[in-house]
Amino acid sequence: MKGAVFYKKEELNIEELEKPEPGRDEVLIKVHACGICGTDMHIFDGDEGAAATPPGTVLGHEFAGEIVEVGENVQGFAAGDRVCVDPNKLCGKCDFCRGGVGHFCTGITGIGTTVNGGFAEYCAVPVSQVYKFPDNISYAEAAMTEPVACCLHGIDMCGIKCGDTVAVIGAGMIGLIMLQLAKLCGAKKLIVLEPIAEKREAAEKLGADITIDPVNEDAEAEIKKTGTDQIDVVIECVGKISTLETGVKIAGKKATLMMFGLTKPNDELKIKPFEIFKKELTLKSSYINPYTQKRALELIASGRIDVSSMIYKAISLDELPKVLADKTARAKGKYIADPSI
């Protein structure tokens, strides 16, 4: 089979690999769609994502496909089932797992980050990690269950109340998901800061009440012009020091700043404690997707969350290295790798 193998910074090779055989407790999935995530770009750039990626790993952790074979111990799944994958396999035995915070599992396995994932024609996956999805969802939409699941964990931690004003910084796919989740949580006013006009338009279509270009406009001044004197929750979805600093500035009294965007590992944020003190700010961050995959899939299946409008283009595996190397690619929208192309 064909697969995309990561070796080191800026070296991802498309190779002929041996088709995997499912283990006793695994299913073999024919991959139909695998999303290109910001984490994949970080790994390609030589930075660590949620975990270190060993050289020789097939990347791809946002994927969906069709089961073509099941291991001898597998029950409840059969060839032909359409499934998406939760890529984070917990050990279930360490203190973190036993304490209900399994996303900090000391023996976690990351499908597509620490072991072979979905940027391939086939992938063998533990049956515990797969979820069936209905026919009204496409493979590409189902592949987006994992990013929605990550966003659900983050939005849960924001504590949004009905009537809150929420600002989202960045209107890439993650920002647009967060925007929709904040609306579902009951936010009365949704403000989006995004420099790219097309993304601001996408945010408006998905429910943003106010959109601001923070590069060519003074974000604080523009927010005040709208009559907004209090932002209760700020969700930063870019992962840059400058946008985190903006988040601190625009956050209101007793606000929560969710630092969701993934920065480079060695980035450092300079904070004035006095500014945090004056506002009684709460700073939070969100790590992967613990226990939220099923909820995410149900939101997509019900139509309550739109992920299809954010998908920019389906590409072949052969095109994948070029897209990852293109720093402007992420500005265009979500790319989906389809191994059948």
pLDDT band at 47; cut points 50, 70, 90: confident
What is the average pLDDT across 173-200? 97
Amino acid at 170: G
Identify whether the C-beta of residue 174 lies closer than 8 Å to the C-beta of residue 148: no
Identify whether the C-beta of residue 162 lies closer than 8 Å to the C-beta of residue 80: no
Q: Calculate the average pLDDT of the chain.
A: 96
Q: Is the pLDDT of residue 48 over 80?
A: no
Q: Residue holding tokens 């720093």?
A: 327
pLDDT band at 172; cut points 50, 70, 90: very high
Which residues are paired to 190 by β-bridges?
A: 166
State the Cα–Cα distance between residues 114 and 22, nearest whole angstrom.
18
Identify whether the C-beta of residue 267 lies closer than 8 Å to the C-beta of residue 285: no
CA 305 to chain centre: 14
Structure confidence at residue 333 (pLDDT): 84
Structure confidence at residue 184 (pLDDT): 98
What is the average pLDDT across 277-305? 97
Structure confidence at residue 13 (pLDDT): 97
Structure confidence at residue 301 (pLDDT): 97
Percent of the chain scored above 70 by pLDDT? 100
What is the average pLDDT across 238-249? 96
Q: Tokens at residue 337, please?
A: 């790798």
Stronger pLDDT, 7 or 52, i.e. the higher one: 7
Stronger pLDDT, 38 or 282, i.e. the higher one: 282
Q: Is the pLDDT of residue 43 over 90?
A: yes
State the Cα–Cα distance between residues 259 and 328, nearest whole angstrom.
23
pLDDT band at 80; cut points 50, 70, 90: very high
pLDDT tens-place string over residues 205-215: 999 999 999 99
- 175: helix, coil or strand? helix
pLDDT band at 38; cut points 50, 70, 90: confident
Structure confidence at residue 233 (pLDDT): 98
With b meaning 16 or more CB within 10 Å and e meaning fewer, what string describes 277-292?
Answer: eeeebbbbebebbbbb
pLDDT tens-place string over residues 310-325: 999 999 999 999 999 9
Give me the DSSP letters along 6-72: EEETTEEEEEE-PPP---TTEEEEEEEEEE--HHHHHHHTT---SSPPPTTEE---EEEEEEEEE-T
Q: Which of 143, 54, 78, 158 is nearest to 338 (CA)?
A: 143
Structure confidence at residue 86 (pLDDT): 98
Helix or strand holding residue 85 (H, E): strand 82-85
Q: Is the pLDDT of residue 88 over 90?
A: yes
> In this structure, how many other beta carbons lie within 10 angstroms of the beta carbon of residue 309?
12
Structure confidence at residue 166 (pLDDT): 98
pLDDT band at 278; cut points 50, 70, 90: very high
What is the average pLDDT across 38-43? 90
State the Cα–Cα distance between residues 250 and 259, nearest whole angstrom.
14
Structure confidence at residue 70 (pLDDT): 98
State the Cα–Cα distance between residues 140 and 145, nearest whole angstrom.
9
Structure confidence at residue 329 (pLDDT): 78
Q: Is the pLDDT of residue 179 over 90?
A: yes
On the 0-12 / 13-18 / 19+ scale of CB atoms within 10 A, 17 is middle
Q: Residue holding tokens 């930075």?
A: 47
What is the average pLDDT across 301-309? 96
Query: Secondary structure of the chain: what % helix, strand, coil (to 5)?
Result: 30, 25, 45
Q: Is the pLDDT of residue 51 over 90?
A: no
Structure confidence at residue 331 (pLDDT): 75
